[in-house]
Amino acid sequence: MSSTSQKHKDFVAEPMGEKSVNALAGIGEVLGKRLEDKGFDKAYVVLGQFLVLRKDEELFREWLKDTCGANTKQQGDCYGCLREWCDSFL
């Protein structure tokens, strides 16, 4: 298993609440701004899309790439972060 970032650990350690989209692992300032510009301003809005895509890794990665231009590592980090959060809180 690959190691996770501190950002990932922080995100999955507690309920999501009103966290910014930038709180998601793999999403920095640039990608966060692109997501915000498309209406995905909070982590829970991205979670909603993740759930609409039925937690499917391939579909979510493709959506993230198309929506904000995330690279393969960023896609994987964000997917893993949301997947682990769902496993803990849903």
The structure's pTM equals 0.94
Nearest to 42 by CA among 18, 14, 75: 18
What are the tens digits of pLDDT across the range 7-62? 999 999 999 999 999 999 999 999 999 999 999 999 999 999 999 999 999 999 99
Q: CB within 8 A of 67, min separation 6: which ones?
A: 34, 35, 38, 40
Contact 39, 45 (CB under 8 A): yes
Say how many CA atoms lie within 13 Å of 20 toward its Cβ.
12
Instruction: Return phi, psi of residue 56, to 5°.
Output: -80, 120
